Structures are given as structure tokens and as C-alpha cells.
Amino acid sequence: MCGIIAAITQRNIIDILTKGLKKLEYRGYDSSGLAIINNEKNIVRIRCVGKVNKLINKVNKKKIFGTIGVAHTRWATHGIVSKENTHPHISSNIIVVHNGILENDALLRDFLKTQGYIFRSNTDTEVIAHLLHWEQNKTKHSIKNVIQDSVNKLHGNYSMVVIDKNNPLELIAVCSKSPLIIGLGIGENFIASDQIALLNITKRFMYLEDGDIAVIKKKDINIFNKNDFIIHRKEIFSNIKYKTVKKGKYRHYMEKEIYEQPVSIKNTLENRLNKNNTINFLELGKQEDVLFCKIEHIHIVACGTSYNAAMVSKYWFESLTNTPCDVEIASEFSSRTLAARKNSFLITISQSGETADTLSALRQSKKLKYLGNLTICNMEGSTLVKESDYYLSTNAGIEIGVASTKSFTTQLTVLLMLVAKIANLKKINNIEKKIVKNLNMLPNRITEILENKQLIKNIATQLFNKKHMLFIGRGEYYPIAMEGALKLKEISYIHAEAYAAGELKHGPLALIDKDIPVIVIAPKNTLLEKIKKNIKEISSRSGLIYVFSDQTFNYEENVNFITLPYVETFIAPIFYTIPLQLLAYYIALNKNKNIDKPRHLAKSVTVE
Ligand code: HGA
């Protein structure tokens, strides 16, 4: 994760750096810092632990001025969250901000210690700063040449921006796996991890590619490869409109995003449903039908909430389109020896499109014989979108809360449309029309449950001081249980686990006692009778049970029912997600947690 922004300008850069950093906070918020070269040609560095606003307050009090500088918001990978470990890191005249993980930092650190370097942090980034300084001292080369000489010694990911105080006329950027994008100005230039950090100052951008080393001056930019050849990167004009999203009447972005879901889903469906209840994905182009007809297997790769969405769709793909589907955690996919099935199609899912594990999986997959790949993503212009053959946007709108809500339900909406499309191409009994009819009802059904929030609020007050919770479901409600448990963990820090209901008797039943609430997702469907038996097994062992269902059944006192309206089968998994999101939200609210920015997490996970 980690967010980088740097600038070389005619005007004071402080505002550019701090405003940009604020927009990058979704990449990490353990600590943040900046360093500039001031008018007296000295380095001024300010760092602090905590959110970017804390840094901004500190910086504003100091009234500093500079026309070249770097800033960074950190998600710690090497060394605890502390001021000492906060970027920028400095080695004499060399200033470095870094996004990535060095794999050989321990070896380099030992070597640099023998050369007399004293380390003030535990980060891999400080190793880079000292290495560059050591190399420069030895060779007396320019910092650009020093970097070119040194990158071979660095193993891992090391996208970074470097300033040499002795030559404060240029920024040097190195792109290695994590994205860096140059923003082009008039008589000034910028670089950041994401264009949203720069959209208020420029619309003209140039993406760096892996291995690029850019020398960025006020009036010109040169990009080199490792062999010192100049390379050209295309200039693009960004149409992305970044609106500052306000919380409005809501206490948290997460609450707002939960309530936005009927509208987000309408946006996801817009222009994709034909009047005759069929689906069109115009954005896929004419090849879509030909390609989809060839698919014999679907392989979906994702992480976290997106993984849970993928898991729901596995049940849909197999039962509704008769297409075998496997779902895999991206970090596992990218770190094992792979074998693609015959005529397999790869789907990646990511809210941000910058999820490093998913990107790495996509890149690995290209070495294999997949029919093609498609990404389901919320961020147009993201690396995943750029590197995929096909792209379906979730159109959820900017999501700020770190715990995904509207991303999940819009991902499911896109997946269900895809299922309908493939079912139609495979000529499976009119499923497409039925799904489209159901999808059209979804926004209103979600509004209904949102209007009944009091029901969930009451349960939250009964559960917020529990230490552990279990979530169970069967069929496609098992991954819905997984998502419910994940939401609760993320924002309330209550330990929560999800199990396929039938699995309890194979071990987890040993956990059951009156202090561990079990949340059961049990709508009326063909699996209801089976899950009723599982509820009995828990209640016979004095477990405390909360059943989310459109049915009530006669049970002992320890079984509580949260009665929900009947919802059409295809869209019911999406519908049942909403009360679980509300449950997690109100429990975290009762616990007074930092709901939008939970500890140790970040919105976009840009390290593997
Ligand atoms: N390894 C560096 C940078 C971490 C990072 O890129 N996180 O996303 C550190 O720990 O500071």
C-alpha cells in the first residue's frame, strides 16, 4: 500500500503535497510525512504517527516553503508504526519515499553497517537511502546514474521517488511493480501513486512502467530504462472526475455507503439491461459472444471481500450455467505452480484495481493458456483494468470506508449479470430473463431492509460486548456468512469465523457455548431443512443463536429470529448481505471504533 506524492514547481508545494496525500490516505494511514528543500537549500522533514490530518496540522503550524519535495502515507511492512519508521527516510543528502517491500534488506543492512551507516529505523526504505548514498560517495555519479547502478542490488518491489539535496532541480522516480504516474503541469511537474492525488492540478498524465527511471524537472521529463536508453511513455488525458465525497447526514462513510446501495446497484445495471429482459455488455465489444461460447471453465482470483463475492458466483456459475468454476485467493494463485484447465477463462475482481496480489496473479496467468481474462473493478484507469483483456465496471462510485460494502453488492450484481449472459449463450432455459427481472427488483428490496434498521440495531446492543462470533450458511449463503464475519472482524475487532453450516459437526461445534453467538443465514430454499438441523445441533448445546430468515420455526429460547421479507431466489444472497453489514456497523458503533479507518488496514492493498 503506501501512497507517494512528489512535486517540483514554481510555487510553494506544501498545499499540493498535503492535499494529494489526503487523497492517497486510502493506501495506508499508519503514519505520514513529507520532506522539502527550503529556500536556504536545507532539508525540512516533518513526520507523525496517525492520520494525514495530524501531519497537515503540524505542517501548517510551521509555515514552510519549498518548490521541490516528497510526501508519503505509510502502511507499515518493515518496522512498527512509529515516527522513526515513517517516510521520508534520509541518508545525508539523499531523501527517499518508497512503496513496496525489499526482500534482501537484511543482507544490505548488514553490509551498510560495516560501511559505518547508522540506522535510525527498522524499514527497508532506509536501507535504500543509505545504499544510494554509499554508491554515490563511491562513484561520485549523478543520483540518476547512482540509482541505475543500484537497482540491480535491490530485490523485491521498490517503486520510489528520490531527491538529492545537492541537486534540488530534479525528482527521480523508479517504477517497480507498484504504480507511479507522472502529472504534467506548465512549468511544473508532479508524480504520485495514483492520479486522484493530482487531479485538482492537472488532467495530463504519463504512466510509468516497470523498470522505468524518470528524471522529472520543472520543464522537462526524461524516462530511461535500466540500460540508460530514453524511452517514451504515452501522454494521456484523464476524464476521471474525482468528486470530494462528503459524509452528509451520515456519521461514517461506511454508513453512507451501506445506504447508497440501492442507487449504486441501479448504476451498475444502467444501460446493461435490454427492454426484452436480456443483458448487454456493450463495453466488452463484439468478441464477447464468440469468446464466452468457448468457455468450459471459469477461474476467479481475488482477495478479501472480492474473494467472497467470487465464492458466491461459483455457486451461480455452476448451478445456473453448468460451467465449472474455481475460486482462488490471489496470493495463493500467484505463489504456486499453476496449471490452467482447458478452455478456462480467468476473472479477477478488485475494488481498487491496484490490489498487488490480484495484479500479480493476473500477470502470472498470462504465462498460461487461459482463453482470456476479464476484470470486475470499480476504478477505471487502474492498473488491473489497463492490464486485463476485458473490463466490467461495478460503477459503485467512490468507496471511502475501508470495509467494502457497496463494492461487494455491485460486484455480485455484475457477476449475476455475467451468469445470466453465459446462461443465455449456453441456451439454458430462460434463466437470463428471470435473472434480469429479479435484478430489476433488487434496489427496492434493499431499500426495504434499510428502512428496517431498528431491528438490527437492537441485536447489535445485545452482541457488541461479545469476544467471538460464528457465522454459518449453506450453499451461496456460506460465502455471505464469510462476508458477514469479515465485516465484523474488520471494524469491530471481534473475532468472527464463518463456516459452511454442515461443517460445524466436524470440529467447530466444540466452540459452542452461551457466550459465542452464532449468526445463521437461512432463507427459505432447498437447503432450509438441512440448516434447521444444524440450528438444532447448536441449540441442543446451549448455543446462542440468531437466525436471519424469511421463516420462523419453533425452537428453544436460545434461538432468536430476525425475520426478513421474502426475496426472489437469485438476488437473495445480495439482499441478505445488507443486514449483516448493518450488524457489523452498529456493533462497531456501540464499541466506538474507528469505523471508516480500522486499525492496521488500508483501502487498497498495494503490496504482496
Ligand atoms: N516497506 C516500507 C513501505 C511499505 C509499503 O509500501 N506499504 O504499502 C515500509 O514498511 O515503510
How high is the pLDDT of residue 196? 87
> Taking a C-beta distance cutoff of 8 angstroms, is the pair 359, 341 a contact?
no
Report whether pLDDT(608) > 90.
Answer: no
Strands 89-91 and 68-74: unpaired
Nearest in space to 92 (alpha carbons), one of 161, 154, 162: 162
Burial of 203 (0-12, 13-18, 19+ CB in 10 A): middle
Residue ranges around ligand 1 (CB below 6 Å): 1-2, 28, 74-79, 98-101, 123-125, 606-607
Of ligand 1's atoms, which has the minimum distance to the CA of residue 607?
8
Amino acid identity at 101? I
Distance 122 CA to ligand 1 centre (A): 11
> Where do you find CATH 3.40.50.10490 in the chain?
250-448, 452-594
Q: What are phi and psi of 169, to 5 degrees?
A: -110, 5
Ligand 1 atom with least separation from CA of 178: 6
98 C-alpha to ligand 1 centroid (Å): 7
Say whether the peptide bond before residue 88 is cis (omega within 30 degrees of 0): yes
- 250-448 in CATH: which number? 3.40.50.10490
Question: How much distance in Å is there from the Cα of 448 to the middle of ligand 1?
Answer: 43
- What ranges make up the beta strands (E) of 501-584? 517-521, 544-549, 559-563
* Residue reference for cell 427488483: 441
pLDDT one-digit tens code per residue, 270-288 = 999 999 999 999 888 777 8
CA of 81 to the centre of ligand 1 (A): 11
Residue 304 has pLDDT above 80, yes or no: yes
**Burial classification of residue 493, based on how many CB atoms lie within 10 Å of its CB (0-12 exposed, 13-18 middle, 19 or more buried):** middle
Radius of gyration of the chain from Cα atoms? Answer: 26
Which residue matches cell numbers 531527491?
163
* Cα 321 to middle of ligand 1, angstroms: 43
The one-letter amino acid at 302:
A
In 343-382, where does DSSP find H-type helix? 356-365
pLDDT tens per residue, range 568-597: 999 999 999 999 999 999 999 999 999 999
375, 392 contact by CB (below 8 A): yes
Residues 71-129 pLDDT 10s:
999 999 999 999 999 999 999 999 999 999 999 999 999 999 999 999 999 999 999 99
C-alpha cell at 133: 548514498
Do residues 67 and 10 lie in contact, with contact meaning Cβ atoms separated by under 8 Å? yes
Cα separation, 562 vs 517, in Å, equals 14
The burial class, CB within 10 Å (0-12 / 13-18 / 19+), for 286 is exposed
**Weakest mean pLDDT among 262-266, 301-305, 353-357:** 353-357
Ligand 1 nearest-atom number relative to CA 85:
11
Which residue's alpha carbon is nearest to atom 11 within ligand 1? 76
The CATH H-level superfamily of 452-594 is: Glucose-6-phosphate isomerase like protein; domain 1 (3.40.50.10490)
CA distance 136 to 94: 10
Q: Of all atoms in ligand 1, which is nearest to the CA of residue 100?
A: 6
Question: Which atom of ligand 1 is closest in space to residue 101's alpha carbon?
Answer: 1
Tell whether the model's pLDDT for residue 242 goes beyond 70.
Answer: no
- Using the atom order of ligand 1, give the atom closest to the CA of residue 157: 6
Pocket test for ligand 1, best of 86, 160, 607 (most atoms within 8 A of CB): 607
Which residue, chain included where needed, has cell 457477476? 415
The class level of CATH for 3-244 reads alpha beta
DSSP-assigned states of every residue in 240-302: ---PPPP-TT-SSHHHHHHHTHHHHHHHHHTTTB-TTS-B--GGG-THHHHHHHH-SEEEEEE
**Residue-level pLDDT at 550:** 95
Distance 155 CA to ligand 1 centre (A): 14
- C-alpha torsion sign, points 265, 266, 272, 277: positive
Residue 150 CA to residue 131 CA, distance in Å, equals 8
CA distance 213 to 173: 6
- Residue 116 in 3-state DSSP? coil
Q: Which of 26, 77, 86, 604 to mutate to test the pocket of ligand 1 (most atoms within 8 A of CB)?
A: 77
pLDDT tens, 202-238?
Answer: 999 999 999 999 999 999 999 998 788 999 999 999 8
To which residue does cell 563511491 refer? 138
Q: Which of 182, 394, 128, 146 is nearest to 281 (CA)?
A: 394
Q: How far is the CA of 398 from the centre of ligand 1 (A)?
A: 24
Task: Identify which of 24, 32, 78 to mutate to test ligand 1's pocket (most ligand atoms within 8 A of the CB).
Answer: 78
pLDDT bucket at 602, cuts 50 / 70 / 90: confident
The answer to whether 497 and 410 have CB atoms below 8 angstroms apart is no
Distance from residue 294's CA to the centre of ligand 1 (Å): 42
pLDDT, one tens digit per residue, over 442-465 is: 999 999 999 989 989 999 999 999
**For residue 77, how far is its CA from the centre of ligand 1 (angstroms)?**
5
Distance of alpha carbon 66 from alpha carbon 397, whole angstroms: 35
- Give the residue, out of 30, 104, 124, 600, with the most ligand 1 atoms within 8 A of its beta carbon, to mutate for a pocket test: 124
**Which residues share a beta bridge with 73?**
3, 32
| E strand residue ranges, 454-537 | 468-473, 495-500, 517-521
φ/ψ region of 472 (left if φ > 0, alpha if ψ in -120 to 50, else beta) reads beta
* Angle (deg, nearest 10), helices 261-269 and 431-451: 160
Calculate how far, in angstroms, residue 325's C-alpha sits from the geometric centre of ligand 1: 35
Question: Considering the chain, what percentage of its residues have pLDDT values greater than 70?
Answer: 99
485 Cα–ligand 1 center, Å: 28
Q: CATH 3.60.20.10 residue ranges in the chain?
A: 3-244
| Separation of alpha carbons 66 and 46, rounded Å | 13
Tell me, what DSSP letter sits at residue 51?
-
- Alpha-carbon span 380 to 391, nearest angstrom: 9
**Strands in 9-80 per DSSP E:** 31-37, 43-49, 68-74
Task: Using the atom order of ligand 1, give the atom closest to the CA of residue 77.
Answer: 10
Q: Per mean pLDDT, which range of 184-188, 483-487, 536-540, 576-580 is the poorest?
A: 536-540
Phi-psi region of 386 (alpha: psi -120 to 50; beta: other; left: phi over 0): alpha
- Using DSSP, state whether 293 is helix, strand or coil: helix
pTM summary value? 0.89
Position 604 scores a pLDDT of: 79
Model confidence at 380, pLDDT cuts 50, 70, 90, reads confident
Q: Identity (one letter) of the amino acid at 314?
A: K
Task: Provide the annotated active-site residues.
Answer: 2, 603
**Residue having the nearest C-alpha atom to atom 8 of ligand 1:** 1
Torsion-angle region of 86 (φ positive above 0: left; ψ -120 to 50: alpha; else: beta) = beta
pLDDT of residue 16: 97
Return the ligand 1 atom nearest residue 28 CA. Answer: 8
What torsion do the CA atoms of 375, 379, 381, 386 make, to the nearest 10 degrees? Answer: -20
Q: Closest ligand 1 atom, CA of 79?
A: 10
Specify the residue with its C-alpha closest to ligand 1, atom 6.
Answer: 99
Task: Answer yes or no: is pLDDT of 256 > 70.
Answer: yes
Each residue of 404-443: pLDDT tens digit?
Answer: 999 999 999 999 999 999 999 999 878 999 999 999 999 9
Contact of 399 with 257, CB cutoff 8 Å: yes
